[in-house]
Chain A
Amino acid sequence: MTPGVATLRKDPASAAAESEAADVALAASGDARAFERLYRTHLSRIHSLCRRMMDADQADDLTQDVFVRAWQKLGTFRGEAAFGTWLHRLAVNLILGRRKALAVERGRRDSDPDTLDELVGPAETPGMTMDFEQAIGRLPDGAKQVFLLHDVAGYRHEEIASLLGIVVGTSKSQLHHARMALRKHLD
């Protein structure tokens, strides 16, 4: 540091959190620019969640829906959790609601754990390997949701059970079967 020159030191993480808190407050009072900054900060995480939990071709539309819903519900954000946590939970709820509606339309896919090995078994084309993300995509819905929420997003079994309307034991069982099936697709 140059002698005689003042320098402000701020922890980058806390500075980012402060800046985000201000943006949340500004966005809640109608500042679309502040909301755009929040969008850019959280876009990748939310889009990846949508892409993994839904079909990839629906991810863009769903991501838009998540941010529009977030804008509409910002007034209910009380700051009890980080904004990113609140947004992620909002996205998960929206995705699960959408999946439920789609399931009614299309009829449920078989999520019997016994079929897991078959569904995420060796790639269909000899010599071609399926990458890890593709293998996750081929898990049955129940196992995929539990795996993504627990191992990728960090939710606890109790939270997952509540979100999915299942019992904790089922969540644990689905997770184990998903992990067992995915062992074959480690890079």
Chain B
Amino acid sequence: MTDNWTARLSEYLDETLAPTERQALAAHLTGCAECTATLAELRRVVARAESLEDRPPRADLWPAIAQRIGASAAVVPIETRRRRLSFTVPQLLAAGIALAVISAGGAWLALRSHPVAGGGHLIAETNAGAVRWVSAVDPTYDRTVSELQMALDDGKRTGRLDSTTVRVLEQSLATIDTAIAQAGRALAQDPGNVYLNHHLAETMRRKLNLLRQASGISQRI
């Protein structure tokens, strides 16, 4: 059996009734055992719905998807996706922001380390052939990165950095390296792009700073 209020119980449950209606229904519930019981059941239905577990498909769908999007296991060559380049800049901006936070690994280390002295001079400017220009700004970049990487490896080998730290650092560095590679490929398609120049330079600088801070703390401990 139902009464006039039964149809409003879901709205009462969801708190979408107007205040006066809600008050009236609340008053009704105090004297109607049937509506009170129905409300409790509806509450259980909602809770049950919220607890439904998501399940993956029985078979992996990725091979078929990869085939449909024209992807192999490797990175899709950017030349085949030139039309998407128009979207690359804002998306790379998002990546830049994400990487800045990812470098919180470095931020944490910075709390324990001395200020980084003399950051690499990698600021780019509008210039054709920008990929070459960025790496030419600081000819010692590769050597510096290599030396810092060795210092970090030494920290890992000697156990001065624990495994969690090493894992986070390696993940951050891998992400940064991927971003550098992507930005390099994008620049190869659009060498005069100011944002991409800055993005690449910033990302390279971030890698340098992360390595400096990580190896610095490793040597002091």
Contact = CB atoms under 8 A, between A and B. Distances in A.
B91 A74 contact: yes
A86 interface: no
B87 A182 contact: no
B109 A44 contact: no
Given A6-B160, A44-B54, A182 B45 contact: yes
Nearest to A152: B49
Contacts, number: 194
A19 B102 contact: yes
B130 interface: no
B68 A2 contact: no
Nearest to A178: B45
B56 interface: yes
B57 A63 contact: yes
A176 B2 CA distance: 13
B10 A175 contact: yes
Interface in B38-96: 38, 41-42, 44-46, 48-50, 52-57, 59, 61-62, 64-66, 68-69, 71-78, 80-81, 84, 86-88, 90-95
A35 B168 CA distance: 21
A25 B77 contact: no
Contacts of A43: 56-57, 61
B48 A29 contact: no
Contacts of B80: 30
B61 A60 contact: yes
Contacts of A182: 45, 48
Contacts of B56: 43-44, 47
A118 interface: no
Nearest to B221: A4
Interface in A6-55: 6-10, 14, 18-19, 21-22, 24-26, 28-36, 39-40, 43-45, 47-48, 51
A172 B42 CA distance: 14
A24 B96 CA distance: 12
A22 B175 contact: yes
25 contacts: A6-B112, A6-B160, A6-B162, A8-B108, A10-B105, A21-B95, A21-B98, A22-B98, A25-B98, A26-B179, A29-B91, A32-B71, A32-B76, A43-B57, A44-B56, A47-B57, A48-B54, A48-B55, A60-B57, A63-B61, A67-B65, A72-B69, A75-B87, A183-B44, A187-B48
